[in-house]
Amino acid sequence: MPRLFFLGTDTDVGKTRVATYLVGWLNRRHIPAIGFKPIESGCLNENGQLQPRDGLAHVAASHGLVTLDEISLYRMVQPITPSVAAESEGVHIEIGEILRTADQLEERCDWLVVEGAGGLLSPLWKRTTNLEFLASLGATPVLVARSALGTINHTLLTLRALESAGFSKTVVLLNRCSPDTTADEATNAAVIRQFTDSDIVGPFPWLESGVAETADAVMAELEAVISRRRDPA
């Protein structure tokens, strides 16, 4: 069973959009998939109830396989790094509980798609970053990066950090974060490939432009990469 961990090169690269699209795409093809975002800051406070926008998107994409409380374990109001928000709001994040929940969710699906909070070294709780969480989770990292100008540096920096921690084959998913493209978008993937053995897929389209066919093609490419890694033969 694939267990994926979606992280971003930095904030607002669209990892929730891509991760939830994958979950929904798999479920539409009758492949049970669950999206799991255990930690979320920046939640809306509606009548005393914290509403995690990303978590709600994962529930919708999971097509009734989970409830919000099952996949959104720790919620904070302040739109800041989770460790700071949690400490400020009196939320105690227990990584062990998240790992146990991941194992339980995995029993109900064929694909478990876990989404981190922020970039690779963003602190989740005290001295635990997404990197330490990823190592404990035992998942395949999927690095969501902008397809446009500036992505080469951000992507390679994150890949170097992953490689130094033993993750030698991350999947890089380039994502178009706006309807506009930059001149280097056509060459960014090729340049990144010169410095890494990681698989690179995409770019995932700007969905507001109504190009679902292209989005589905990128998901099929990602599925093929993950399947090939599970069964090299």
CA–CA–CA angle 21, 84, 177 (5° rounding): 30
- Domains of the chain plus CATH, in order, are 3-227 (3.40.50.300)
Residue with the two structure tokens 């795409």: 25
Q: Exactly one of 15, 37, 126, 169 is catalytic; which is it?
A: 37
Helix 95-106 vs helix 130-137: crossing angle, to nearest 10? 40
126 tagged catalytic: no
Long-range contact list for 98-103, CB < 8 A, 24+ apart? 98/38, 98/39, 98/73, 98/133, 99/136, 99/137, 101/36, 101/38, 101/70, 101/71, 101/73, 102/3, 102/36, 102/137
Per-residue model confidence as pLDDT tens for the chain (233 residues): 899 999 999 888 999 999 999 999 999 999 999 999 999 999 999 988 999 999 999 999 999 999 999 999 999 999 999 999 999 999 999 999 999 999 999 999 999 999 999 899 999 998 899 999 999 999 999 999 999 888 999 999 999 999 999 998 899 999 998 887 777 888 999 999 999 999 999 999 987 656 778 899 999 999 999 998 776 54
pTM (two decimals): 0.94
How, if at all, do strands 49-51 and 44-46 pair? antiparallel
